Amino acid sequence: MTQKVYIETVGCQMNVLDSELVIGALRRHGYDLTDTPADADVLLFNTCSVREHAEDKTYSALGRVRLLKRDKPDTVIGVLGCMAQKDQEAIRKRAPYVDMIVGTGQLGAVPELVAKVRATREPQLAVSLGRTDGGRNEVEASFISYDPARDPSMRPTPFQAYVRIQIGCDKFCTYCVVPSTRGPEQSRPPEHIWGEVRQLVDQGCKEVTLLGQTVNSYVYTDGDRKTRLSDLISGMHDVPGLERIKFVTNYPKDMTDDLLDAVRELPKVVKYLHVPVQSGCDEVLKRMKRNYTAAYYMEMLARCRELVPNVSVSSDFIVGFCGETEESFAKTMELVRVAAFKNSFIFKYSERGGTKAADRYPDDVPDDVKKRRNNDLLLVQNENSRTDHRNQVGTVVEVLVEGPSRRERSASNQANREEASHVTQLTGRSMADHIVVFDGTARLIGRTVRIAITDASPFTLYGDVLTDEVVGAVSREPTASVAPSRFSLPLV
Ligand code: SAH
Ligand code: SF4
Ligand code: F3S
């Protein structure tokens, strides 16, 4: 009988991609995916350590499967990813029934480790011992390299895929666990990335999102040849059938003009830049070790907007970082007001053991103050988002149609909704990353259509299909056998 695997993923897009790769590998070993934990022979939790809340989610999920393990002792329970890398001991203490703990650099070994657990009933531990273990430029060897059989059913949609171009991080912002959970920054060879993109497009993929913790620091050196992110993108731009290229997340200090020129000049590159500033106060930025000032960031932002007209920019913020006074927070509020981001992701500082900030600075902003600052910043950002969205009314945008809107997905009439001729509410994103909702038939899913924007809320544009004709030279049908209504859930 086929063995079944269940997986839960928290964390960033990198983790979503890792889960896809792990499931792809297990499928090749005869496993099928199930979304019911009770039916599974193997239960996997791909984890995130970036904030305490993300870790709590995993511990409560592990708590839920404890009884399951008691009733079905043969079930293999595995904890994967960043938390596995960082907290092996704590996991073993809090959930001694976990059978495998697998770090971010060992995910390729999951099928083998599952087999070992089954054969020996001994717990398996596979993590990197430290950042120095992984040799530079050995990404393909130390990590699961691309496999065309990776699991398309785990992708955001059959026509959108993530592509890792870089692993790890060398920036060491003082608050952040990522450099220790993901190891040293290493860029993948461009030929491998281009090959992967071509294979994805052959499978029906139209949009690729290039992933790296500081994606614009990408550089691959081979003898005299240096490939930067701008070169990497140019090198994949003309793959026939590929319609959109995105990349996240950018580091402000590495936003070079060659990249901005490429974003402007290359029509397939999405006109959207996620460039987190984190704070508007220089003293806080210094304690965070972000290596720039608020003024530097604002100049960079002006350069982005000058070199890429109409570009959308979004940011991340941490509120309540160590020593953040009302005065420093007021500077962040002012920066958000002036910067006019399309949207911002705002987080309350969460102290992480083992980081420089945890060692050096007390977590001295009380939680209720963090909460208030979070809400205050959100209010200013929402006003900006409202203005940004309203400014789009009256324009025509190109939308890659992703599937039924949230409203439709929660509606009960499933059968009707997936009928090709039935008019339904659809959603997709514009080239500037705006979410656009409109009425259309299911046959538009996976295509690029032109939408006249008629209305806007702070987070969504509404409009009408201007023409039924498909935009773009090539219109391929997705070959992946997945219901088009499958969506990725909001993560942390
Ligand atoms: N590599 C990316 C994203 C890293 S994690 C980058 O550098 O932009 C995503 C976001 O989580 C960060 O941008 C930061 O805003 C937030 N974050 C990271 N560590 C955090 C912590 N300890 N507490 C609260 N938020 C944190
Ligand atoms: Fe963390 Fe900073 Fe690296 Fe981003 S750049 S992953 S915030 S250390
Ligand atoms: Fe991503 Fe969380 Fe790890 S944000 S890199 S999964 S700590």
pTM comes to 0.92
Whether 382 and 338 have beta carbons less than 8 Å apart is answered as no
Distance CA 434, CA 403 (A): 15
The type of residue at 237 is H
Please say whether the dihedral angle defined by the alpha carbons of residues 196, 202, 203 and 209, taken in this order, is positive or negative: positive
Report CA(50)–ligand 1 centroid distance (Å): 7
Distance CA 25, CA 42 (A): 13
Query: Which residue's CA is the closest to the ligand 1 atom numbered 1?
Result: 213
Whether 100 and 78 have beta carbons less than 8 Å apart is answered as yes
Consecutive H or E run containing 57? helix 52-71
CA-closest candidate to residue 352, choices 60, 86, 105: 86
Residues 211, 212, 216: CA angle, nearest 5 degrees:
105
Distance CA 135, CA 138 (A): 6
179 lines ligand 3 (CB under 6 A): no
Report the pLDDT value the prediction gives residue 155, as an integer from 0 to 100. Answer: 87
Q: Which ligand is nearest the CA of 12, by number? A: 3
Report the pLDDT value the prediction gives residue 119, as an integer from 0 to 100. Answer: 96
Distance CA 366, CA 1 (A): 54
CA-closest candidate to residue 215, choices 188, 192, 247, 262: 247
Report the pLDDT value the prediction gives residue 129, as an integer from 0 to 100. Answer: 67
Domains of the chain, first to last: 3-142 (3.40.50.12160), 155-264 (3.30.750.210), 271-391 (3.30.750.200), 392-492 (2.40.50)
Report CA(115)–ligand 2 centroid distance (Å): 35
Cis peptide bond prior to 454, omega within 30° of 0 = no
Atom of ligand 3 nearest to the CA of 11: 6
Cα of 67 vs its chain's centroid, Å: 32
For a ligand 1 pocket test, name from 215, 344, 347 the mutation site with the most ligand atoms within 8 angstroms of its C-beta. 347
Whether 372 and 348 have beta carbons less than 8 Å apart is answered as no
Q: Give Rg (Cα) of the chain.
A: 23
Going from the C-alpha of 159 to that of each of 69, 403, 475, the distances in angstroms are 37, 11, 11
Pocket around ligand 2: residues whose beta carbon is below 6 Å from it?
Answer: 169, 171-173, 176, 178-179, 213-214, 251
Report the pLDDT value the prediction gives residue 132, as an integer from 0 to 100. Answer: 60
Q: Three-class SS of residue 479?
A: coil
Report CA(48)–ligand 3 centroid distance (Å): 5
Distance CA 190, CA 171 (A): 22
Per DSSP, what are the bridge partners of residue 77?
43
What share of the chain in percent tops pLDDT 70? Answer: 88
For a ligand 2 pocket test, name from 48, 172, 173 the mutation site with the most ligand atoms within 8 angstroms of its C-beta. 173
Cβ-proximal residues to 192 (8 Å cutoff; 6+ apart), any chain: 140, 145, 146
Report CA(289)–ligand 1 centroid distance (Å): 13
Q: Three-class SS of residue 104?
A: coil
Report CA(202)–ligand 1 centroid distance (Å): 34
Q: Residues of the chain whose pLDDT is less than 50?
A: 135-138, 142, 412, 417, 470, 472-492
Are β-strands 76-81 and 100-102 bridged in parallel, bridged antiparallel, or unpaired? parallel
Query: Which residue's CA is the closest to the ligand 3 atom numbered 5?
Result: 178
Per-residue pLDDT of 196-233, as tens digits, reads 999 999 999 999 999 999 999 999 999 999 999 999 99
